[in-house]
Amino acid sequence: MVDRILEQEEVIRRTLSSDRKTSHLVPTWQDIDVLQAIHTALSPLSSLTDILSADSYVTVSAVIPLLHLIDNKFLKEESTDTHLKHDIKKCIKDDLNERYSNMGEDIEVIVKT
């Protein structure tokens, strides 16, 4: 959805600015920067979401390697990351660590085998 908003930014801007009642809703450059940061941080995870949601039954054998992949590839800090993108990745990483912390070292053992 964020992708579509970014694609249609100019149309949205024109439509909202054409009416005085909605002109205050025109996205600012700060709004667009936030949407772009969200899009670049979350777009790599979109394909994984599609894969998992297509399965009727998602097993641990699929989840654990995906968690490892998400942690070590998609959420890896890069020198080109903006401060906002870094914060988004950190929040996602912290949330995943909190949710799956009870798996502990089992993840590392399973991934290594």
Domain count, the chain: 1
Amino acid at 1: M
Q: For residue 112, what pLDDT is reported? A: 63
Q: How far apart are CA 81 and CA 6, in angstroms?
A: 19
pLDDT at 1 over 90: no
8 Å CB contact between 22 and 52: no
> Rounded to 5 degrees, what are φ and ψ at 100?
-110, 20
pLDDT at 25: 94
Question: Which residue range forms the structural domain that includes residue 41?
Answer: 2-112
How many residues make up the chain in this entry? 113
pTM of the predicted protein model: 0.69
3-state SS of the chain is CHHHHHHCHHHHHHHHHCCCCCHHHCCCHHHHHHHHHHHHHHHHHHHHHHHHHHCCCCCHHHHHHHHHHHHHHHCCCCCCCCHHHHHHHHHHHHHHHHHCHHHCCHHHHHHHC
- In this predicted structure, the answer to whether residue 113 has a pLDDT above a threshold of 60 is no
Q: What is the pLDDT of residues 2-16, one digit of tens each?
A: 999 999 999 999 999
**Per-residue model confidence as pLDDT tens digits over 26-70:** 999 999 999 999 999 888 888 888 877 777 776 767 777 888 888
